[in-house]
Chain A
Amino acid sequence: MASAQSVLDVTDLSIALGQDGARIPITEDVSFSIGRGEVLALVGESGSGKSITALALMQLLSRSLFIAKGRVLLRAADGFETDIAALGRDGKAIEAIRGARMGMIFQEPMSSFSPIHTIGAQIAEVVQIHERVSRQVARARAAELLAKVGIPDPKGALDRYPSEFSGGMRQRAMIARALICSPSLLIADEPTTALDVTIQGQILDLLRKLQRELGMAILFITHDLGIVAQMADRVAIMYAGRIVESGPVGEMFGHPAHPYTRALLAAVPRLGDLDHRRKIKPIAGSVPNIFDAPSGCRFHPRCPVADPARCASQLPPVHARGAHAVACIHGKTELPA
């Protein structure tokens, strides 16, 4: 699916744990691309490998994990092109990308800020690292961004500490810090999971507004299908380290093709259920342990339509129609025409 229009092309990305001798695969052959100004949601349950994938895109994997295979091609708006998978974890090359061409926001805003430096210093620092500007200019830019993300009295906020901010305000400050160098791609890893629902509404609204205004692409990592439906243009579903299905958001919710996607949608309670009296259907069993992942199709032990002869022994073939792709032996017949 690589095209000149995409900001990021991830091809066959595999992440493994441990040394080369005894490596344990965590994710395998993950491929996706994100177009300019597009929002891609990477969806999965805990242990599916979605957050690890996001960290790998920024070379932020912990020391015990490494990229075993694959390419992560970034095409920034300024014409800059590089394969991030080939860069080291440290050094000038990756530092020119992190925080400048790619920004990242995390789930827990309290632990993403230093408690002993002011909000202003921590945001201005990003500008000073990437651009040759004076402290005054950097602070002015920081205040500008704080205003843009809806923080009242942005000039005063520069001199305050993270502990003086509420959860929602800290998350806004983190968004400001991630966006201050106008990145081509923002990676948002469960940015609203720790927030209350009304504050979550505010943050989602803000992200959508900024995304349109700045024309940036967002990789949105989440497990919440409600947020996916509201935020994403395209969706990729991960299960036990592999992408099982991807496609435009309307198709994924309207005509899900993979048994896991369908089971997931059937398991979520909806407000509309109050009228329809729909019963939610749980998925049998539990999410597999990465150290003991099933052979063949990773979902086959929980799959209601698995063919034991084929699904346990071979990787499911990928079927695609247009932008909608599914990795399942039944895929071809399930894809909508």
Chain B
Amino acid sequence: MSELLKVTDLSVHFPVRTRGVWRKTVGRVVAVDNVSFSIARGETLGLVGESGSGKTTLGLAILRGTQPTGGRVELTTASGTIDVTTLDKQALRDARRHFQMIFQDPYSSLNARMTVRDIIAEPLVARRNQKLDRKAIDQRVVEIAEQCGLNREQLRRYPHAFSGGQRQRIAIARALVLHPDLVVCDEPTSSLDVSIQAQILNLLAELQERLGLTYLFIAHDLAAMAYVCDRVAVMYLGQIVEIGATRDVYFTPRHPYTEALMSSVPEPDPSAPLQPMLLQGERPDPANPPSGCRFRTRCRYATELCATTPPVPVEIAPNHFAACHYAKELSLKGALALRNVGQEKVAE
């Protein structure tokens, strides 16, 4: 499989300023810290982490929705390789057709004063160097809307007439209307009901297959994530602590944080009782992260080494990386393995 996206040492820092007129910079929050990974064409990479882990900022930085402080984001499309971080305003605008985003809340991401047709057509209209006539635009809008499960009739209406799930379909149609290569999905189902969440997850999978899309799927729902992702990256305080095939990361985690995360997922099965591996304390302030390994203050396995030396990611198994000094020695438990009954089920 060819590589579509290659992210190298990407960092995003936000200044911490004092109040008042001078707004003196007194520190910085390292929201994303030297993150590197790649996504193959047609693949789905999941980005999981708790609030404040930097996963949304990372997604935005890849699209230049926020300006990265350092690093490279290379996108290889049919028309060549571009470094997204160095594009000027006009070039970025042209390049945006290759990468699009779907947001969490379809109630705030759609303009209430535009018809569904105009919302979906907007990216086509905004392209200055490739003007389409009205007929061509209409044709494309109808085509993508139907692929997203909307009918021609609904295109004349306004967003308020639609439920959350249907609004998310409109947002997906808008993201896909320009035939993008990469779609960043930022919590696309978090605000939806269970029965509707399944519709959207299945729609995204179906569209991926049909249109050859590549997804960066940001979420905190680990079960939904397992359902759609080929590989998963786990973030903690701005860094990727573990990355690998979904199955490997979920069932044979190599980072203590991943173990804690997996043990906390309540499975909808009363015979698989939850035994959360409780983390000590709370997430540290990202503006003032711990020395050495950032997770050490909550880690049950931490030693003195962890306080002094930041761990580097090591390849523990093929394509399975973890940034932990003890990744090779620790025998960590994966999702379901902590639960007696669950274990039998997995073994079946």
Contacts and interface: CB of A to CB of B under 8 A. Distances in A.
A282 B196 contact: yes
A287 B195 contact: yes
Contacts, number: 145
Contacts of B250: 271, 274
A226 B268 contact: yes
A199 B276 CA distance: 10
B44 to A, nearest CB: 14
Interface residues of B, number: 51
A274 B231 CA distance: 12
B37 interface: no
Interface in A42-60: 45-46
B276 A224 contact: no
A93 interface: no
A46 B193 contact: yes
Interface stretch (B131-139, B170-178, B218-226, B325-333): B218-226
A198 B261 contact: yes
B195 A197 contact: no
A318 interface: no
Contacts of B221: 269
A173 interface: no
Interface in B216-253: 220-224, 226-227, 246-247, 250-251
A205 B276 CA distance: 8
A240 interface: no
B202 A280 contact: yes
Nearest to A284: B199
Contacts of A274: 226, 246-247, 250-251
Nearest to B347: A275
Interface in A243-280: 249-250, 253, 263-265, 267-275, 279-280
B150 interface: no
A269 B222 CA distance: 9
Given A205-B276, A273-B226, A280-B202, A197 B196 contact: no
A82 interface: no
Nearest to A226: B266
Interface stretch (A62-70, A101-109, A124-132, A227-235): A227-235
B346 to A, nearest CB: 6
A198 B266 contact: no
B224 A201 contact: no
A286 interface: yes
A287 B163 contact: yes
B274 interface: yes
Contacts of B282: 166, 168-169, 199
A203 B221 CA distance: 17
A263 B262 CA distance: 26
A204 interface: yes
Given A197-B50, A226-B223, A230-B274, A271 B193 contact: no
Contacts of A201: 263-264, 266, 274, 276, 278
Interface in B242-292: 246-247, 250-251, 260-274, 276, 278-279, 282-283
B198 interface: yes
A274 to B, nearest CB: 5
A195 to B, nearest CB: 9
Contact of B194 (A169, A202, A225, A230): A225
Contacts of B198: 267-269, 280-283
Contact of B266 (A46, A230, A267, A283): A230
Contacts of A272: 267, 269, 336, 342, 345-346
Contacts of A264: 194-195
Contact of A202 (B261, B270, B276): B276
A201 B266 CA distance: 8
A41 B269 CA distance: 14
Contacts of A253: 268-270
B195 A271 contact: no
Nearest to B280: A202
Interface in B137-178: 163-166
A196 interface: yes
A223 interface: yes
Given A204-B266, A283-B196, 15 more contacts: A45-B193, A198-B50, A198-B276, A200-B264, A223-B194, A229-B269, A229-B272, A264-B195, A267-B195, A268-B268, A269-B227, A271-B336, A272-B346, A273-B226, A282-B195
Which 8 A-B residue pairings sit nearest by Cβ, starting from the closest? A201-B276, A226-B266, A201-B264, A283-B195, A282-B198, A196-B50, A282-B199, A45-B193
9 contacts: A198-B278, A201-B266, A202-B278, A269-B223, A269-B224, A272-B336, A273-B223, A274-B251, A280-B227
Interface of B: 50-51, 163-166, 193-199, 201-202, 220-224, 226-227, 246-247, 250-251, 260-274, 276, 278-279, 282-283, 335-336, 342, 345-346
